[in-house]
């Protein structure tokens, strides 16, 4: 005969539950500690840090320590939030700027082009040759 190991179906030791520890019985339901999964930051703490909820009231020693840790990190973040650029840096930036004014970016069709006389002559000769070739081909038809 196989033992029924699944006592939850009610067919085994009916109505028998795991006996509660004394500490569980002493605490009200809302105060029972919900273990955090691994090192996950609890939803409560995230909501507090996101400004969506007030600072959580510590319900366990572990969560109290986590809240305290984040309070300290927030204090340090607050200190860093007031840091300003060292004065010499602004002067350094101004001194390092190029002397010329920034170039205004023009679309390609508005940009001027420079062509040397040799290039202009070569382009003209090319166009004449192209025109002659087209004329010849039309005459042949």
Binder of another protein out of 1, 2, 5, 40 (CB under 8 A): 40
- Decide: is 57 part of the binding site for another protein (CB under 8 A): no
Q: 41-67 burial, b if ≥16 CB within 10 A, otherwise e?
A: ebebbeebeeeeeeebeeeeeebeebb
Which of 56/74 has CB closer to another protein? Answer: 74
Least distance from another protein to the Cβ atom of residue 69, Å: 4
Q: Which two tokens stand for residue 79?
A: 């200190």
Which span sits near another protein by CB under 8 A: 1-9, 37-45, 108-116, 124-132?
A: 37-45
Q: CA 73, CA 67: separation in Å to the nearest integer?
A: 10
- Decide: is 14 part of the binding site for another protein (CB under 8 A): no
Closest among 24, 28, 32 to 62, alpha carbons compared: 32
- What is the residue-wise DSSP string for 88-139? HHHHHHHHHS-SSPPPPP--GGGS-----HHHHHHHHHHHHHHHHHHHHHHH
Which of 99/138 has CB closer to another protein? Answer: 99
- Decide: is 97 part of the binding site for another protein (CB under 8 A): yes
- Decide: is 107 part of the binding site for another protein (CB under 8 A): no
Q: Which residues bind another protein (CB under 8 A)?
A: 38-41, 45-46, 49-50, 62, 65-66, 68-70, 72-74, 76-77, 80-81, 83-86, 89-90, 92-94, 96-99, 101-105
């Amino acid at each position: 005969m196989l033992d029924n190991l699944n006592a939850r179906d009610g067919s085994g030791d009916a109505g028998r539950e795991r006996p509660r520890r004394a500490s569980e019985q002493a605490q009200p339901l809302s105060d029972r500690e919900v273990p955090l999964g691994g090192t996950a930051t609890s939803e409560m703490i995230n909501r507090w840090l996101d400004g969506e909820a007030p600072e959580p009231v510590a319900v366990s020693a572990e969560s109290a320590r986590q809240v305290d840790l984040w309070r300290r990190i927030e204090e340090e973040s607050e200190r860093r939030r007031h840091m300003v650029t060292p004065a010499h840096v602004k002067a350094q930036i101004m001194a390092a700027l190029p002397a010329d004014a920034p170039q205004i970016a023009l679309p390609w069709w508005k940009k001027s082009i420079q062509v040397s006389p040799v290039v202009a002559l070569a382009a003209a000769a090319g166009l004449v040759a192209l025109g002659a070739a087209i004329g010849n081909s039309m005459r042949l038809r």
